[in-house]
Each structure stands twice: as C-alpha cells, then as structure tokens.
Structure 1
C-alpha cells in the first residue's frame, strides 16, 4: 500500500492522528505497519495455531472494532483470545486500565507499548490497535489492520465455527478489494481528513469529498441488502465501525455535519440492520467510543467534556432492509452464538441488542 506519511509517527492515537493536526495541512495517516502475517503455512515464522496469539483491540477504535466483528462472525473466540485496552491513552501507549491491577492478564503488560518494544526495542512508529501478539514471547507480530481481518477469513478457516460466513468469497475478492480501498480513503479515513483538516480550504475540500462518497454509498445500498449483494462480506465489516460512530462522534466532533446519518434512509437502515445482527451491535460500546474521541482529542475538544447524546435506542427500531433478497450468512450459514461472558459489553454503555436471526 502506498505510504501516506513516510516519516516516523509519535506513538499516539489509534493511528497517530495527533501530530498530523497542523495548521494549513491535510491529515496524512501513517500507513506503515508491521506487515508480518499469521498463515496456515507459517512461512514467515507465524503459523496459525489456536491459543498462541492474543488480539489486542480497543472497543473505542474503529480500526480495531472491525477485528472484533470479524472474530465474532467467524467464531474465533476460543482460538484467539482478546485483550481490550481502555478507551483513553497518553502520548506513550494504549493501557490495560480496564483489567485488574491495570495489567493484561495473559501478557502481563501494563501498556501495549511493551509488546512492541519486546520485538522492536526502538520501534519508531505509532503504538496502534489492533495488534496481534505472540503469547509465548509477549511480542507483537503484526498491527497491519488492513490484512488482519483478511487473514482471519482466509488463513484461520480450520478454527472457524460451523456455519461461519465466507466474508471474503474468492469470486468477489477483486471487487471487495477495490471497494475497500475506496472506502478507506474516502470514508473510513475520510472522516479523519475532515476532522483534522488544518485550514478552512482543506476542511471544505475533504468535507465535500466525504459527503460525495456517502451519497454514493446511499445510492449503492438502495440496490442490495449489503454492500456486495445479499450476503455480509468484509466490506460490511469495514464500513460498519465508521457508520456506527458517525452521529455520536464524526457529525459534531469532526464537523462532518452536512446532515446526520439518521437522515439518510438507506445508510441508516443498513446501520440499524447490522446493529441488530449478531456479531455487529454486540461489539459496540458507545460510552468507550465517545470517551475516546472527546477526551483524547484535546486539540479538538480542550474541555474534554463528553456529550451525553445522541440517544442510541432508535438503532433498535425496525429497519426496511428485508425488502431485498437476503442470504445473510450464506446458503448453509448460521448466526454466531452469544458473546463470551467476559466479552459482553456493559449494558449501561449501549442499548440492549436484538439477538438471533
């Protein structure tokens, strides 16, 4: 992938947003990641092996959120444990402040930074989530968020649950890849380009580009249940974390405020559809999401006051997506079981979800 910012980034933000907020400048995301892969063959020294690795994924971060969704949909909970840092962090690293004693119970780390330094003592880039850590060495394997979920879908198949969906079907991979590249730059990262624009001119340019992209998605979702047709794919896994954060965060905090997502019929009903689909809504923690953005981004919100709204309960209202042909899980697929007890989102942080389907 083309590097957007070749200079080393300070270890801040979920993907080093601080430091890119420069007066007059466009937001450039550092796209240099540890590109090691965990594969069936283990050619790079990292074979797929149940119990060997730990996914570190903060619920607050949209890039990490997609790995939590993929892990749930594919049923990898028993094969791949998860550690969840809290929603805030300092200049050094994400911390395991939600765990007893502030220490990850498997890795023994207080900070994710320790896993990076265990492998690269002088690691110069951002300490980002998601990251996959090798439990025996307690060292990071990869933080390549673009590749991690693709490997979950294609390399971890021996550990998929019975009835797991094919999130990356071979016949659609080229189209999924093209759509995902477009969404990354225009939507997933597009909201950051708007929010961290360093001048009025840059802001207006990125604002226009973002809403043109959202209008295209609104039109696309007027033709099919999901982005690629009647079944959920990797493309939906990547879009949902951005959409679910749009009205609570990006609309106001990032000034992406032409209109709310709730005012766009297809995008809003699509979001409600996925929110009430097992594996999507049951990974959403609105309290952590808002705490992260409004507290950590002091340059955008110096008071660190976290808003109480919007009310998330309309996400549970009926949607209209059943008007389209639907094979949500594929011809022989089934919905995932309920989340592991230790991974259930605090009910006070999000509305109760509709389960099953």
Structure 2
C-alpha cells in the first residue's frame, strides 16, 4: 500500500471489490463500504466502479483519506468467551481449507450497523492466524449450514462452483397455508429495492432466482417443505414463498403479521421457520462432499404443534 492506494496481488485478483473491502476493513459496517463505493470515494485505477467489480492483478484502489489509518486506529472487536464456546460447538466439520458451521437463528454472518460482530468475526477471533472468509451468506434469522474458507485458494474454488451452479443447497421451511403440489419457481428479484422499501421485490430489472419447492408433509393449515435453490439471491426463498401466497411462518418482513402473532401466542416460538439443511460441493481434492445441519429444538417444537394451532380471522 502506498499513500491512499491499495494494490491488488495475485491472491486477491478475481475477487469482488466489496468482498475485498469487507475483508480489509472488517470492523467497518457493510453499509458504509457500499456508500463509499456508490459516492465514488473508492475508485479503481482512477475510475468509478460498482460493488460487483472483479479486481485484476495490479489494480490500484483509491481509498478516502480518513481510512488510511483505519485499521491501526480501530480497537479489535471484543467477542464474548461464551460466543467462542458456542461457535466451537456449532462446527459440523473442518479441515485445512474450510469450516462448516450450523449457524443459530438470530446471529448475523457478518457485523453491521445493528450488529457489533457476526459469525465470521467470531471465527476470525477463534482462528486469528488464518484468513477466514465467508463462502456464502444466509439471513440473520435463518439457521443452518454456513461455509467459511480458511484460505483464498479454497474461497476462489468454491466461488467458481457457485458461478457454475455446482453447489447444491437444500433448505427446509414451514409455510402458512396448504400447498397443493410441488412447484418450481423462476422469477427475477431486485435487491436494490431493499434500500428504499426495506424489501427485496420481483422486478423485470432483477436477477434470475430459481427455487424448487417439494412438499414433505401437509398439515391442517401449514405445509412443511424442502427447497432446493439454483441461485442465491438475497431473501430469495422468503420473497418467492410470500409471492406464492404461502409465506414462511414467523417471517417478520415478508410474512402475515397478524397470523404470526397468533402462532407466537399459541406456541411461544418466534424464530423464522427457515433452515439451511444441507450443502454439497466439490473440495480441493476433487471429491464431492455433503453436509447436513440439524434443526434446533424450536423448529422441531413448531413442527410438533402445527396441527394444534388455530388461526381465526
């Protein structure tokens, strides 16, 4: 780094600039980084760029003057010891390249405006000598499989699989209403609307989102489903479920608010009924691996009490 510039080496070539900056300025909220990019405070080779810009070898990133000594002036994120213990117990498997975790609902995968720390910050505190990065993301309110890389080689390897649709991610959810049949949903979702409406919306200007809904069990007023996603758009399953008129139980953003209140009152559980149940991918040895994450007790309690829930208008 010279002056106000960061120069890209071979380890970081090919990365998106937003993900690169998240890693460099780990204590800075994502919203601040996106704001800097949008305002042109961050530039590459003297030109404006979008958050999705892919970095090339020897690219020079200009950062605003107030960030020159940011890392040196920032205090380390303080992770409670209880969180480190919980993280260790949540590890499904790990090797020299990755860590597979069963994330609890309510824990963000990264820090932000309303989160002092996230899953990746806890992992970095647990393994301070490693280059820990998120391989993908799930919502704060969603539980289940989250993959973290221990080195840039595996991170790039996994991202290539995502691009080529070689990663299989299965979710389980409880939907309001009784679905008649299995269905494959293809729509276009625009995450930029979240900034204005606080929601992701369907739009012809959006990106393709594909989900396959398979009925696992029908209840009187609910449906327990498995969803396999072929794309990984923000809030994809939640938006598409809602647009099918079968929103996810306890979805506070896209759900049926009055119905959710009645469910919580009767069952006493307010967690989002969405769980990242399994993930399959190819490791660096060329072997396909598949991992499953157990649902927590609250999800199972919800399932056991579905037939006893009454929803009166």
TM over 0.5: no
Q: Which has the higher contact order (CA 8 A, sep 6+)?
A: 1
TM-score, scaled relative to structure 1: 0.30
